[in-house]
Amino acid sequence: MKRIFEVAVDGGPYALAAGSDGAMWVTLVHRGAIARVTPDGDLEVYQVAENSKPSIITAGPDGALWFTRAGDDRIGRISTAGELAAFELPDGSTPFGITTGPDGALWFTATGSGVVGRISVDGEITEVAAPGGMPSMITTGPDNALWFTLNQANAIGRLDRGTVTLRKVPTPGAGPVGIAGTHDDAVWFTAILADKIGRIPMNEAMQELELPGKPHAVTADPSGGVWVSLWGADQIAHVSADGEVATIDLPAGSEPHGMAIGPDGALWVALEAGFVMRLPTA
């Protein structure tokens, strides 16, 4: 297994995703750009647009990377060759979360308009639901429905064939943000204002666990449990399916946000302070 390393990336690394080319693709929210980082630490940067605020990024079903542009109300696409395209949304949409859905399209949240939308790989956009409540991050669950956090409604939404159902978070004012589907037939989410992580088994009650440090993003660990970025504590936490917590300290002021498992099986973390970090998980 390769060593832990950091790659300096100017511009506020915020979220990342593994590309079909074996590299990690990173949004640079303050620079208006997308970075490509290889497992050997090579770096390329592709300028998107000033003040476009690239936010969340995901691998698309077409082999390209798709990302939200929260600063200028667009959905962006970048091929692994660095070719860029953009698709406009209504003014004030403020897109944020994005994921590949079970239907071969991309699904996104719009925090400004309160919409959950769909964009085909051909760029056709449909507003599927408007739950309000500032929908934030979104994921495909183990039940092949779309699950998303409602930051201001203190709820988790589920979208299936156009129908939205909401499940309230037990802790008031929890501020749910990150969300991930896992192989243990559950959906996990972070509650940044309550210092908690939540787990939703498909047919059971929602569970909550104390996790101080302003948990922000969550991603499934292929070996079991989840990884969580503790933005306020400059830490990464691993939470097992049984609720056991282990933490990894990062340098002070790192501001960890997005995380993803790379093609090499390592955990990659976007540090808004200006680095992309690779952490072997075995």
- What is the secondary structure of 51-88 as a DSSP string? T--EEEEEE-TTSSEEEEETTTTEEEEE-TT--EEEEE
Mean per-residue pLDDT over the chain, rounded: 95
% pLDDT > 70, the chain? 99
Please give the positions annotated as active site: 257
All residues at 6 or more sequence positions from 83 whose CB lies less than 8 Å from its CB, including other chains: none
Q: Closest Cα partner for 189 from 151, 223, 242?
A: 151
pLDDT in tens, 50-82: 999 999 999 999 999 999 999 999 999 999 999
pLDDT, position 3? 56
pLDDT, position 204? 80
CA–CA distance, 211 with 188 (Å, rounded to integer): 13
pLDDT in tens, 246-271: 999 999 999 999 999 998 899 999 99
**Which residues does residue 202 pair with via DSSP β-bridges, in sequence order?**
none
Do 59 and 74 form a contact (C-beta atoms < 8 A)?
A: no
Per-residue exposure over 67-97, b if at least 16 CB sit within 10 Å of its own CB, e if not: bbbbbbbbbbbbbbeeeeebbebeeebbbbb
Residue 2 has pLDDT above 80, yes or no: no
pTM score, two decimals?
Answer: 0.96
Residue 108 has pLDDT above 70, yes or no: yes
- Single-letter residue type at 7: V
Boundaries of domain holding 112: 5-279
Sign of CA dihedral 168, 211, 260, 184: negative
% pLDDT > 90, the chain? 90
pLDDT in tens, 87-106: 999 999 999 999 999 999 99
pLDDT in tens, 206-250: 999 999 999 999 999 999 999 999 999 999 999 998 889 999 999
CATH number for the domain harbouring residue 192: 2.130.10.10
pLDDT in tens, 143-179: 999 999 999 999 999 999 899 999 999 999 999 999 9
pLDDT, position 241? 86
Do 263 and 1 form a contact (C-beta atoms < 8 A)?
A: no
CA–CA distance, 199 with 188 (Å, rounded to integer): 4
- CB atoms under 10 Å from CB of 122, counted, come to 8
pLDDT, position 267? 96
The 3-state secondary structure of 126-166 reads: EEEECCCCCEEEEEECCCCCEEEEECCCCEEEEEECCEEEE
DSSP per-residue codes, 197-208: EEEEETTS--EE
Q: Closest Cα partner for 77 from 88, 230, 217?
A: 88
pLDDT category at 9 given cuts 50, 70, 90 is very high
Do 166 and 225 form a contact (C-beta atoms < 8 A)?
A: no
Give the total number of structural domains in the chain: 1
